Amino acid sequence: MKKLFLLAIVLIGFTSISNAQSLKLGIKGGINLSTINGDNVPSNLDARTGYHIGVAAQIGLPGKFAIQPELLYSAQGADDLDIDYVNIPILVKYKFLKFLSFEAGPQFGILVNDDYADAIETKSFDVSAAAGAGVEFGKFFAQARYNFGITDVVDNSDVRNGTFQLSVGYYFL
């Protein structure tokens, strides 16, 4: 029964992609302004200026919608507390003008680097909610997004990521 269910999901996925109005693949990068939020965070902790870089796809759907999955290396955390992730946002885009869109969806992060003291155990997986807006001009695009941390970054502590991102990119396909 499980195999039949998985087969149905795969077939629906391939049908959706093959019926998609367009597929775009590209690269993107930009600046992060990130911090750590929560009850257990010192109030004098400054934000970290970091970067993100990676690949993005846009799968056109009927109407004004699209799915935008990405794979990004993202330097996050706070000042003097570097926490870097490989993030996988999966966003739904609504294009309300030919060149302007809103986007929102979940983001899944895998910890690849942290410089917390050995006494603090950071979690290896992070979940965020992402929301933002973007513009497209031909093959070029730019986006502004905020990622709201949902899961705690540190074990047994109310500490979550918060990251504002400004991105530019280019669709090569």
Q: What angle do CA 112, 114, 115 make, to 5 degrees?
A: 155
Give residue 15's pLDDT: 47
> Taking the CA atoms of the chain, what radius of gyration do you get in angstroms?
18
78: number of Cβ within 10 Å: 20
Q: What is the CATH number of the domain that holds 122?
A: 2.40.160.20
The domain containing residue 162 runs over which residues? 22-171
Q: Is residue 68 part of a domain?
A: yes
- Strand 160-171 to 81-95 pairing: unpaired
Q: Is residue 104 part of a domain?
A: yes
* pLDDT, the chain, mean: 88
Please report which confidence band the pLDDT of residue 5 belongs to, taking 50, 70 and 90 as the band edges: very low
**Got the DSSP string for 81-93?**
EEEEEEEEEEEEE
Least confident of 11-25, 87-101, 114-128: 11-25
Q: Which residues pair with 32 in a beta bridge?
A: 50, 165
Q: Is residue 129 part of a domain?
A: yes
- Report the greatest alpha carbon distance in the chain: 55
Q: By the 8 A CB rule, do 172 and 27 touch?
A: yes
Q: Is residue 11 part of a domain?
A: no
Q: Tokens 């990119």 correspond to what residue?
A: 169
Give residue 7's pLDDT: 45
Q: Is residue 115 part of a domain?
A: yes
Q: Is residue 12 part of a domain?
A: no
**pLDDT digit string, tens, across residues 141-158:** 999 999 999 999 988 888
In angstroms, the Cα distances linking 89 to 46, 129, 157, 163, 172 are 25, 9, 24, 13, 20
Q: Name the residue with higher pLDDT: 2 or 39.
A: 39
Q: Is residue 9 part of a domain?
A: no
Q: Is residue 90 part of a domain?
A: yes
Number of structural domains in the chain: 1
Q: How far apart are CA 14 and CA 24, in angstroms?
A: 16
